[in-house]
Amino acid sequence: MTNPVDPYLLPGLLGLLGVALVLIAAHRWDVGEWPQPVVDPDATARRRTWIKVSLFALVLVATFVWAGDVVTASSGGGTGAGGGAALSPGVGAAAGEQIFWGAGKCATCHSVGTRGGKIRGPNLGISPVGDPIGLRAAALAAQRAATLGRPMTAAEYLVESIADPSASLSQGYKDEMPKPYLPPISLTPDQITSVILYLQSLGGTPDPAAIHLPPEITQAAQSRVTVDTWKPYLVGDSARGHEIFFDARGPSACARCHRVGGRGAGAGSDLGAIGATHTPRSIVELLVGPTRRHDSLLPGGFVARINVKDFHDLLAFLETLRPYVAGDTARGRALFFDETGRAACAKCHRLGNRGGDAGPEITAVVAIRTSTFLLEAILKPSKHIASGYQTVQIRTNDNRTLQGVVVRETPDSVWLGTSDGGHVTVPLRAIVQRRAVDASLMPDTLAKMLSAKDLGDLMAFLETLR
Amino acid sequence: MSEVNTFFGLNPRNVVWFVAQLHLLFGAFVLGVPIFAVIVEFIGWRTADARYDRLAREFTKLLAAAFATTAALGGLLSFTLFGLYPAFSAHFVRIFAPSMYFYAGLFFVETALLYLYYNSWDRLQDRKWVHLTLGVLLNVAGTAIVFIANGWASYMMTPTGVDASGAFTGTTAGAIANPLWMPLNLHRIIGNVSFGGFVVGAYAAVRFLAARTPDERAHYDWMGYVGNFVGLAALIPLPFAGYYLGRELYTASPVMGNNMMGGDFSWGFILQALLVGLLFIVANYYLWAGMSRIPGAERYQKYVKYLNVILVACVAVWLTPRNLPVTPEEQLAIGSQVHPLLGYLGLMAAKNAVINFIILATFASLLLYRRANKTDLIPISRQGRASRVTLIAAGSLALLLLGWYVAVLLRLDLQTLNLTPEKGIYVRILVLVLGLTMLAAVVTMALALRGRGHLAQAIYFVVTAVACVGVLGVYGFVVMTAANPLLRQVAVVQWLILMTALLLLTAIDVVLFRGARSLGAIRWGEVALSTQYALIALCVDIVLTMGLMGYVRSGLREDWHIYGVLRDTSQWAFTPSYSTMARMVGGITLTFLAAVAFLFWLASLGGGHRGATDASRPSAEGVP
């Protein structure tokens, strides 16, 4: 991937050079190295002054613009925080993860292990102060139950901590967490359930049946449904949108980066199935950015360049892109379960009662993820790592370095699931260093090892699991 | 009613942004310049120095055209809001209609006072206090206008009087007096004074660069100095006003507060640090370079390099982001998403410490400049009682301020901060630091009264630097992890110690150099041309800063017209990227500067360059 800062480097350096030249010019003039004007001195001096001052102001402003570009490139690209991440529909831990790190704004206060850097709220992952929240919730629920004088389950504790954050506070933290179902966050009941499932998945097992939201959350959602329903205010022309998409010299020039149906360049993502995987609103959000920073990934000023009519036509065209994923499901099944084959998914992923446990159980993934996401997860496994399946690197006292997923942890040992589908048990006393790694255990070589037909078949098989 | 309309195919949000920001800049100009003019006129009256009077008049003359432009832009802003966002405007008018009539009425009053103030200048030369009273009334009217507009803007961020269903059930006055109103008023007023000073500085710089005679150069050099001095003096408390605004915003809405400092807008504050850091560095550079025109200043030049190192290092820390997106490989290498060392510099505790240090270093520059041509001090024992009274009053006030906060801390109910009683130790440490600073203040005052002013200043400088930056800077990290809610109290203690330092050290300096012999007159006009570009850079920089902070303030509402109450459901309801912001703010800045240059030219048509050519060469003792 091209470094996003590069395009701004040259103008930036030119800007700085400009500032330096103006300062040098001012200095040299000052020490009398350049001749003073002799003809019509007043008018010439004024004119020159205005030119120099205007140039100087222009250079300063240009440098500021360059700084803005650098910040956009530095803070927006490459982390999935920008417009590239697909929005998962439905309820589930994966959707909850996206909400936690996005619209729910949980991550502006909480970190999860080494992910995120915020300390205003308790760390909800493995941290120096304790286990991840999915494990810790049971103990916290027990403490809370003792205070209340009535039993409380771990799920009830998590529900209470979101529905009524002031009810019990973690020691050392202020009572300042907002109720996320109220404005301005305004999460829906499904979104809140998803976040709780995500929290449960951090060291524990998501349990949707245990989650019962209090009525005020549902009521809050119902009371604002009339004002929070988004719809485009123009009906677009999809045929014209098609022209706009492929018009290389047009204001949007989408096909210069994106492909649809085999047409277009390949630097951006393939949008051939976007109509199937996204709602109209989420397409708009992709265009303007789910974090509302549209041009952090799209070229600078994309939305500013395109007029309202074109925007809606383009939107109408993208909504029509709902291709059927063709493929041989039987062959896809074979590829999945053949542990000596090219894909060998079952080495690490369980389906029914078959398969390993170093990766997520596959029906749970398929149920909540879009086709685009699944394809991306196969080809770029490190882009989105499922909760609870973060790779851990362990260094032992005999200088061995092990890498794997923590499948089980006892008071004495850690069981690591490794990339070959096997297990390694490491005694706790032998561990010298342990740290999370942000790269998936799943190999990123499948794009090379699988043919297009293999991928199509595998995807077709996975689609049958929905 | 349609919710949003477009402006000839243009993005309506950008149209409103452009017009609103331009209106705000002109508003700041017509508010900042009268404040500047009245201060300068007052100095001229009290010092019997006619240059100040001329300077005040020269700038008041600009106001008529600027006033009309501001009003025209205000009208355009109203029309664009009504035309492009009719649903929002209708909602807004329902709440604020009474205040809008009052606003328009005040505009008439301000216009009348402006013309009265300008046109009575000659007539009231012998009754200066009456003229100054008119100037003050003009500023009162201007301030009232901006206070009303601030009420509208701040309501959009922290609305009050709204029930759970989003319906407005409060009063207009209640909506204006929302939690962010007064912090925004304070921040804007101080900011406008600084802005006015730097605009005057830039005007003087341009005239200096085009000047053809030594007299003209001397006049505009002096004018630039006055502009920079006022701008810098207001810039010193500005970070505190900004901190207060941010703190109240955080209190009103932790969601917005977190988004501001730790979310989408945290990078806005890195850009702000860049711009405000540059303001301090360039303003200091101007002072240091200006010392070349002061005989005897070479004695203090050696200290400049240390101040420079402090400023640059502190700005570097201020610029350090907490969260820099890292690749998996980078994360693997550093072991987390945050750099093990630089990550700490990105936290508020570090930034508070360095901002205090920057202000202290800038203050040191001002003191060096002030004493540059002075020698043969008169011992305090040979000065009159007034000197001792001045010292004792300043010292007592410093002790009173510090003592007051000790009392506040001792009465602090930890439960209100969700802290357990054992966390009281962290409060007691703050009390101890304040107590030791009070002791240092007493020692400083005693030394100054015994004629050891230099030593007294050095001691309090060191104590302030150690307490604010060294001790409380590090302590901030401890509190952040052990008793996070107390972090605000740490910041207040840092601010109070610094304020007492500014108070006490200024008082000692005034007494110390009272009646001192001058080593020679200030050679106004004999200054490097680069200093004039520094003045222009300050003006461009502060306009960019205002544009950036306008983007942050409005952007914090995300996709809400009125935060949490009225949502913008159009497709333009996104926060533009910093890239877009920089282009937009850059365009607004250039438009504003061009418009102001045009106004200056318009104003010069009537009176030619009389102000410059009539200016007498400034005297040696003309440092305000």
Which of A145-154, A364-373, B141-150, B473-482 is least confident?
A364-373
Q: Report the pLDDT averaged over residues A37-54.
A: 74
How far away is chain B from the Cα of A106, in angstroms, using its nearest Cα? 9
Among chain B residues, CA nearest to A296: B577
Q: A452 exposed, middle or buried (CB, 10 Å; 0-12, 13-18, 19+)?
A: exposed
Classify the phi-psi angles of A390: left when phi > 0, otherwise alpha if psi is within -120 to 50, otherwise beta: beta
Residue A104 has pLDDT above 80, yes or no: yes
Q: Which of residues 324-363 of A touch B (CB under 8 A)?
A: none
Q: What is the pLDDT of residues B407-441, one digit of tens each?
A: 999 999 888 887 888 888 999 999 999 999 999 99
Among chain B residues, CA nearest to A393: B332
Give pLDDT, residue A274: 75
Q: Are A104 and A185 in contact (CB under 8 A)?
A: yes
Instruction: Work out whether strand B374-375 and strand A431-437 pair parallel, antiparallel, or are unpaired.
Output: unpaired
Size of the A and B interface in Cβ pairs below 8 Å: 236
Q: In chain B, what's the furthest Cα-to-Cα distance?
A: 78
Q: Which pair of structure tokens corresponds to residue A411?
A: 């008071």
> What is the sign of the dihedral through the CA atoms of B65, B67, B68 and B69?
positive
Residue A267 has pLDDT above 50, yes or no: yes
**Interchain proximity A27–B529, CB inside 8 Å:** yes
Those residues whose C-beta lies under 8 Å from the C-beta of residue A58, and which sit 6 or more positions away, are B590
**Interchain proximity B484–A105, CB inside 8 Å:** no
Alpha-carbon distance of B276 to B448, in angstroms, equals 34
**Interchain proximity B559–A292, CB inside 8 Å:** yes
Residue B417: list chain A partners with CB under 8 A.
174
Residue A326 has pLDDT above 80, yes or no: no
Average pLDDT, chain B: 88
3-state DSSP helix/strand/coil % of chain B, to nearest 5: 75, 0, 20
Residue B624 has pLDDT above 70, yes or no: no
Q: Is A92 helix (H, G, I), strand (E, B) or coil?
A: coil
Residue A7 has pLDDT above 50, yes or no: no
Residue A227 has pLDDT above 70, yes or no: no
Q: Is A180 helix (H, G, I), strand (E, B) or coil?
A: coil
HEC-encoded secondary structure of B255-309:
HHHHHHHCCCCHHHHHHHHHHHHHHHHHHHHHHHHHHHHCCCCHHHHHHHHHHHH
Q: Is A127 helix (H, G, I), strand (E, B) or coil?
A: strand
Q: Report the pLDDT averaged over residues B438-448.
A: 94
**Interchain proximity B485–A42, CB inside 8 Å:** no
Residue with more model confidence, B80 or A176: B80
Among chain B residues, CA nearest to A118: B262
Mutation pick from B91, B579, B590 vs chain A, by most beta carbons of A within 10 Å, is: B579
Backbone angles phi, psi at A431, to 5 degrees: -85, 125
Nearest to A67 among B271, B335, B420 (CB): B271
Q: What is the pLDDT of residues A286-316, one digit of tens each?
A: 676 434 443 334 544 566 567 767 877 888 8
Q: Which pair of structure tokens corresponds to residue B8?
A: 């000839």
Best-predicted range by mean pLDDT among A20-29, A230-239, A378-387? A378-387
Q: Is A247 helix (H, G, I), strand (E, B) or coil?
A: coil
**Interchain proximity A45–B323, CB inside 8 Å:** no
Alpha-carbon distance of B485 to A119, in angstroms, equals 12
The secondary structure of A7-53 as a DSSP string is HHHHHHHHHHHHHHHHHHHHHHHHTT-SPPP-SSHHHHHHHHHHHHH
What is the ipTM for the molecules in this complex?
A: 0.88
Residue A250 has pLDDT above 90, yes or no: no
Would you tell me how many other CB atoms lie within 10 Å of the CB of residue A400?
12
Helices then strands, each counted (H, E), chain B = 22, 4
Of B493, B486, B440, B494, the closest CA to residue B468 belongs to: B494
Give pLDDT, residue A318: 83
Give pLDDT, residue A3: 36
Give pLDDT, residue A77: 34
Residue B609 has pLDDT above 70, yes or no: no
Quote the distance between the C-alpha of residue A100 and its chain's center.
10
What is chain B's length? 624
Q: Which of residues 390-419 of A touch B (CB under 8 A)?
A: 393
A44 touches chain B (CB under 8 A): no
Q: Report the pLDDT averaged over residues A368-374.
A: 70
| One-letter identity of residue B464 | T
- The long-range contacts involving B446-452, CB below 8 angstroms and separated by at least 24 positions, are B448/B380, B448/B391, B448/B508, B448/B511, B448/B512, B449/B380, B449/B388, B449/B391, B449/B392, B450/B380, B451/B379, B451/B380, B451/B381
Percent of chain B with pLDDT over 70: 93
Residue A37 has pLDDT above 60, yes or no: no
pLDDT band at B614 (very low <50, low <70, confident <90, very high): very low
**A370: Cα within 13 Å, side-chain hemisphere:** 18
pLDDT band at B224 (very low <50, low <70, confident <90, very high): very high
Q: What is the pLDDT of residues B264-295, one digit of tens each?
A: 788 888 899 999 999 999 999 999 999 989 99
End-to-end distance of chain A based on CA atoms, in angstroms? Answer: 33
- Element spanning A436, H or E: strand A431-437
Alpha-carbon distance of B408 to A294, in angstroms, equals 47
Give pLDDT, residue B19: 95
Q: B248 exposed, middle or buried (CB, 10 Å; 0-12, 13-18, 19+)?
A: buried
End-to-end distance of chain B based on CA atoms, in angstroms? Answer: 58
Report DSSP state, residue B146.
Answer: H
Alpha-carbon distance of B296 to B371, in angstroms, equals 9
pTM: 0.72
Percent of chain A with pLDDT over 70: 73
Q: Residues B326, B332, B335, CA angle at the centre, nearest 5°?
A: 90
Mutation pick from A187, A438, A440, A441 vs chain B, by most beta carbons of B within 10 Å, is: A438
Q: What is the pLDDT of residues B48-78, one digit of tens each?
A: 888 899 889 988 888 877 888 899 999 999 9
Q: Are A227 and B567 in contact (CB under 8 A)?
A: yes
Average pLDDT, chain A: 75
A29 touches chain B (CB under 8 A): yes
Give pLDDT, residue A279: 61
Give pLDDT, residue A266: 67
Backbone angles phi, psi at B10, to 5 degrees: -90, 155
Can you list the alpha helix ranges (DSSP code H) found in B120-180? 128-157, 172-176
**Interchain proximity B206–A53, CB inside 8 Å:** yes
Which of A357-366, B324-333, B393-402, B610-619 is least confident?
B610-619
Alpha-carbon distance of A426 to A433, in angstroms, equals 12
Residue A84 has pLDDT above 60, yes or no: no
